Amino acid sequence: MTGSIRTALIVVDLQPDFMPGGALAVKDGDQVVAPIRDLVMSGRFDVVVATQDWHPQNHVSFASHHAGKKPFEVIDLYGHEQVLWPDHCLQGTLGASLHAEMARDWVDAIIRKGSDPAVDSYSAFRNNWNRWGSRSPTGLGGFLKERGITNLFVCGLARDYCVKWTAEDAAEAGFKVRFLWELTRPVDATSDERVLRELEVKGVEIER
């Protein structure tokens, strides 16, 4: 890229636990791996960032942390809706590692999120709400701005949670954001119309 436009690719949570057969499988999640790897290696981007869910055991987002609750139930947590998930992406496990086909040598930074046992974290830019009613930054925004990044391309898993929240927070932080729709897959296949609507409201450009 030339001139004042500098671009980054954000690859969200391309991890085995989100692949078919994983602890929190996203249907057809494996189908985005090869095209994302090729995009990472294309040389189109000034910066490439990958994220990892990186949870301790007994994380607050796990249904197993809450007596009598089951995965995918929704509770109130710090005044906001919290989906309860199956235990997944436990720190140091194979399921939490970057996918084996990810081109690691091409990645400039890895953001690990969800490591606070009391706070969930969907977005690569900010954690979810904490008990004080705020969302603490991960540091990614500053990292990108220090490198002169203006435009972001976002892809990965899952479309309706971590990729969506990452794109929305990036737009709010002042980046021009393109959401690579075909290089994402949703947890909830019925969510697409809502996700499109909410991204467009935030000024995120959908690239199909």
- Give kind and range of the element (H or E) at residue 74: strand 74-77
Q: How far apart are CA 118 and CA 8, in angstroms?
A: 30
Residues 6+ apart with CB under 8 A from 17: 23, 24, 25, 53, 88, 89, 95, 96
H or E stretch covering 143 = helix 140-146
Decide if 89 is catalytic: no
Alpha carbon distance 1, 69 (integer Å): 49
Angle at 105 between CA 124 and CA 28, to 5 degrees: 55
**Helices 192-201 and 164-172, packing angle to 10 deg:** 10
- The closest alpha carbon to 9, from 22, 21, 38, belongs to 38
Q: In the annotation, is 162 catalytic?
A: yes
> Is 113 one of the catalytic residues?
yes
Where helices occur in 20-131 by DSSP H, the ranges are 33-40
Q: Which of 17, 87, 113, 164 is catalytic?
A: 113
Catalytic residue among 46, 162, 164, 169: 162
Contact criterion met (CB below 8 Å) for 178 and 151 = yes
Q: Which residues are catalytic?
A: 13, 113, 162
